[in-house]
Amino acid sequence: MKRFVSGFIIGAILFGSMQVSGAIGKVIEVSYSINDVKVNQVSVHSAQKPFLYNGTAYVPLRFVSEYLGYSVKWDEESNVIHIDQKVTEAHTTADKIVETLKANKISLLPPKSKDSYFLLNQTTPVSYRNGTYQHIHIYQFPTIKDREKALQDFQQIRDRADMILPYVFAIENVLVFYVPHTSDQPLQDKLEEAFNTLRKENLSVVRINPW
């Protein structure tokens, strides 16, 4: 599939939510034929679709950088992008995620015994129910690298098992797994809204593609 995109829209795609100023560039033809983006063998999702132009693949800078634990800032005065490694390793907690979900009126019920989820990178999640069948599992890891290792562990489990595919959010050093009951996504949309409040606090939030 090909589309025509003007220069300023390309800038918006590359720089995520940053404001792009200046004159509108020329109209170009790009191809949205990229099926997936994987970081360390794990599929990651971006609200802005990657595309191909003149044999080069363009992906959003912000979501890849933040997934790897780097901060991204746009200096409008100098027109410079700053990508910096974050100083501390652990940036948020499972308790912080729980508080955010409750503040956004997402019901978190006590788990049943069968609601336990996978051990990932030697870490057991804090688990909750939303209604009868939908589950939310929150993993807190010491570092972002530990979080990445946990996702690799999960991908290996998923490759061996027949399961309901979860939606996964990487929030700094924390992973949140939402396991739906059906293919409908009402709770997933509410989670997106809740985690937008964390983005406003300068925490990186990346949604992982369902496997």
Dist. CA 184–CA 164, nearest whole Å: 12
Quick one: CA torsion of 196, 35, 182, 159, rounded to 10 degrees?
Answer: -110
End-to-end CA distance of the chain: 23
Cα–Cα–Cα angle for 13, 3, 31, rounded to 5 degrees: 75
Sign of CA dihedral 84, 82, 16, 64: negative
Dist. CA 168–CA 175, nearest whole Å: 7
Whole-prediction pTM value? 0.66
Cα–Cα–Cα angle for 63, 64, 67, rounded to 5 degrees: 80
Dist. CA 164–CA 204, nearest whole Å: 26
Identity at 154, one-letter amino acid code: F
Boundaries of every domain in the chain: 2-85, 94-208
Per-residue pLDDT 10s for the chain (211 aa) are 555 444 434 444 444 433 344 455 678 888 888 887 777 666 776 667 788 888 888 887 777 777 676 777 788 888 888 887 665 555 899 999 999 999 999 999 988 766 578 999 999 999 999 887 889 999 999 988 899 899 999 988 988 888 888 999 999 999 999 998 765 567 888 998 999 999 888 888 888 876 5
